[in-house]
Amino acid sequence: MVKRKHELAVSWNLEDLSEGAKWRGAIDAVTSDYVYGWTLLSTDPKKNVQLDISILGRHVAIIECSDFRGDVIELIGSDVRVGFRFDYNTLRGPITEELLARVKSTNAEMITGSELVQVYISGTDVRVPLVNDELCSINDFKKTLVKPKRPAGNTESERIRLRNTLINNPPTPQEPAAKIIAYYLPQFHPIPENDEWWGSGFTEWTNVSSARAYFKGHDQPHLPADFGYYDLRIGEIQRKQVETARKYGVSAFAYYFYWFSGTQILTMPIDRHVEENLDLDFCLCWANETWSRRWDGSEQDVLMEQSHTFESDVEFIRSCIRYFKSPKYLKIDGAPFLQVYRVSLMEKPVETIARWREIVRAEGFPDLHVCMVESFGLREPSKYGCDSSSQFPPHGVIAPRCNDKMEDLSQSFRGEIYDYEDIVRNEISHTDRTHLHFRGAMPSWDNTSRKGPNGNVFANAKPETFETWMKFLVDDAANRLPEECRFVFVNAWNEWAEGAHLEPDRRHGHGYLRAVRNSLTRQSQIQSALLLRKGPLNERDLEILREYVGSLINTNGVLTKLLSTSSVSAKLSRDSLFVEVTNELLAVRSSDDARLHLDSVNGNRGVRGKLNALTKSQSLELSGWLVTAAPKQMPLYVSLRKISSADSSPRYLASIETYIERPDVTEFLGLLDPYDCGFSFSGNLKNVEEGHYEIELICLESADGLSAIAYRTGFLASIGE
């Protein structure tokens, strides 16, 4: 490593790489968990730059810039890998111990990012500059160092490779049960109006980056991950947003449309969507409020007035026509779908909307569908001449405040805190409306970025809870709404200053996006069908169940093929979840026409007839082998059947995902065609009812997944709390 007596500056300018500094780059962020940024060599941008990482003055690693950065790619017009990220949790051994010793000798509770981490270009005395030198918690940094490490070797990377193979090569797409429409805020690029009102260069990120936590566990600030602090003037950002949205099942963006009596602002993303015909549907939501300094509490300081007169409101629709004509514009039976945020502010809403319909029909459309956003207590769309209404959480949600339950709540905090889980619980039991009504959810919500201690917070929001909410809304839309408009709205795609965003952040990663995708799967529909139905399953539910079983067969085949050609250890398989399966779904017959044995049950030598006592918090772990006359590509399951129950009684099934070569078995049985007859299995018992069970092995008998054969092992399990 070079002994550095001084540091040379690195230029951030990317407009002309032929002149100026040899090195270009910046550290975007230093946190208590990682350092993140980009660097390139101006004379050879495609060269992967190596960097020396020093923490607390101690050289800890050499890394390579190998990540794509869409913002840099757009500016230099070349597909290069210039980004880097280094996680402190990857450090091990003496380095970690030395850093912990240095932390211990530090009396301060906070440290600046530049004091914590230094990044140099390897072999030079050039230091990469830090954009915002913010404070980091010494205690949080210490916790990062002592987190459990990932196992050494290439096992994890191989598993990630397999995971990415499945993600990037999904099964044949099916028509989703509902269309997910996410609200899109276009305020992520500078405009003259914001420069005048809030200061030069203002965008939504100005609020986001200055946020702070007001209580223990408060999820602030929200730091963007994949797209960084993006600028929507860079077209590649929006294209990546659309690509990501499609990948995770978002069907459309609902762009906020800012039209003030003929003046339009912040339309750049909408215009680009039309001009480039981006591969995602979209619609407009007219944000028809007056702009004031509400964000910083100055309600009466008007920035841009929305003057609602009948003439002005009628004229608004003409500005929408060119967007309606886009083939990607969202329509219901050919009628453009338009939302109005506060329809009650319009002078004559019924007459205005009637006139809108005339103008739209004159442009060749069959009609116009106007949807009232349920903001500020609005409930009845027909009162305003609208066709439908849509929920807009947190507007209209109900939950008790829980400020007094927050640990270490700042004395300066004057806002309200609610429990996100209470919201979800109440919304799931939501009563249906009599009119055409679209449901909506929010991944989280927290506007302290804008209002500071006067903001409101919905605490305890997690991707798993949001996924539960979304599953119920998707099932509700599939069963209640007409096929042509099974919409579910999400607030929002990118409301970062309100803590409401599907876009990846550094705390949850892609968690909220995965929640959306999971809510659209057949498995999700099964879960919702079983949870929501009070009576027997109808034919539609049974058809969904049959299709899901078929998809399991296909997925199992893909996994088996991938695992059979990889070096992944059998121990990497995760728990399969036992689910109750009735004969109505899967007809099972018993057979003795097989050779099989369980070598171990939860680590103990397998003994037939012995009752193995387990609790629901444990896993059922088996290893063994099975040789049958069934086709070898048919998937195999572990079944729990209650002792003394008839074959027609429900069983609990979980799939075997790991198959192992057993040359000892194939040699002993004299098999001419050896194959992976061994298996390793771990099953989650949380859904299994208490009782005594016989352990069976079940093999599907037909490709349609409607019938199966059960092979009794003679091994028993007692499941208790």
The rounded distance, in Å, linking the Cα atoms of 5 and 2 is 9
Q: What is the CATH number of domain 540-720?
A: 2.70.50
Q: How far is CA 710 from CA 589, 647, 665, 682, 689, in A?
A: 6, 9, 21, 19, 20
Q: 323: which 2 tokens?
A: 């967007």
The whole-number pLDDT of residue 372 equals 97
462-470 average pLDDT score: 92
Q: Which helix (H) or strand (E) holds 230?
A: none
Mean residue pLDDT across the chain:
82
Minimum mean pLDDT among 482-491, 559-568, 607-616: which range? 559-568
Residue 634: per-residue pLDDT: 65
Mean pLDDT, range 374-403, rounded to an integer: 92
- pLDDT attached to residue 538: 64
Instruction: For 79-135, give the DSSP string.
Output: --EEEEEEEGGG--HHHHHHHHHHHHT---SEEEHHHHEEEEETTSSBBPPBSS--E
What are 247-250's contacts with CB under 8 Å, separation 24+?
Answer: 247/517, 248/502, 248/510, 248/513, 248/514, 248/516, 248/517, 249/176, 249/180, 249/516, 249/517, 249/519, 249/520, 250/180, 250/181, 250/182, 250/280, 250/490, 250/493, 250/502, 250/516
Predicted pLDDT of residue 544: 59
Report, as an integer, the average pLDDT of 668-678.
65
pLDDT at residue 302 greater than cutoff 50? yes
pLDDT of 174 > 80? The answer is: no
Higher-confidence position of 199 and 558: 199
Percent above pLDDT 70 for the chain:
80
* Amino acid, res. 66: S
Instruction: State the Cα–Cα distance between residues 290 and 32, nearest whole angstrom.
Output: 41
Residue 359's pLDDT band, with cuts at 50, 70 and 90, is: very high
Interacting residues of 519 by C-beta distance below 8 A, sequence separation 6+: 180, 249, 467, 470, 471, 473, 474
Stretch 519-523: mean pLDDT = 72
DSSP 573: P
d(CA 215, CA 410): 6
Its sign, for the CA torsion 627, 631, 636, 640, is negative
In sign, the C-alpha dihedral spanning 261, 272, 246, 514 is negative
Tens digits of residue pLDDT in 408-427: 999 999 999 999 998 998 88
Residue 684 has pLDDT above 80, yes or no: yes
Confidence at residue 300, expressed as pLDDT on a 0 to 100 scale: 62
Statement: residue 428 has pLDDT above 90? no
Tokens of 601: 């049950």
* pLDDT at residue number 702: 67
Out of 198-212, 393-407, 651-665, 676-690, least confident range: 651-665
Q: Is 396 exposed, middle or buried (0-12, 13-18, 19+ CB in 10 A)?
A: middle
pLDDT tops 90 at residue 321:
yes
175-532: what CATH class? Answer: alpha beta
Report the pLDDT value the prediction gives residue 627, as an integer from 0 to 100: 86
Q: Which of 562, 525, 565 is nearest to 544 (CA)?
A: 525
Position 5 confidence tier, pLDDT thresholds 50, 70, 90 = very low
| Confidence (pLDDT) at 266 | 95
What is the model's pLDDT at position 6? 43
Domain 23-149 has CATH 1.25.40: no
Amino acid at 646: A
pLDDT at position 2, please? 42
Same fold, 175-532 and 540-720: no
Q: Where are the domains of the chain?
A: 23-149, 175-532, 540-720
Please check whether residue 486 is in contact with residue 519, taking contact to mean a CB–CB distance below 8 angstroms.
no
Please choose, from the candidates 558, 521, 581, the residue with its C-alpha nearest in 3D space to the C-alpha of residue 657: 558
Average pLDDT over residues 76-96: 80
Q: State yes or no: pLDDT of 155 exceeds 50.
A: no
Q: pLDDT at residue 582 above 50?
A: yes
Tell me which range, 135-144, 331-340, 681-690, is most confidently predicted by mean pLDDT: 331-340
Residue 17 scores a pLDDT above 60: yes
Position with higher pLDDT, 342 vs 537:
342
pLDDT of residue 236: 92
* pLDDT tens readout for residues 215-237: 999 999 999 988 989 999 999 99
Lowest mean pLDDT across 2-16, 80-94, 585-599, 639-653: 2-16
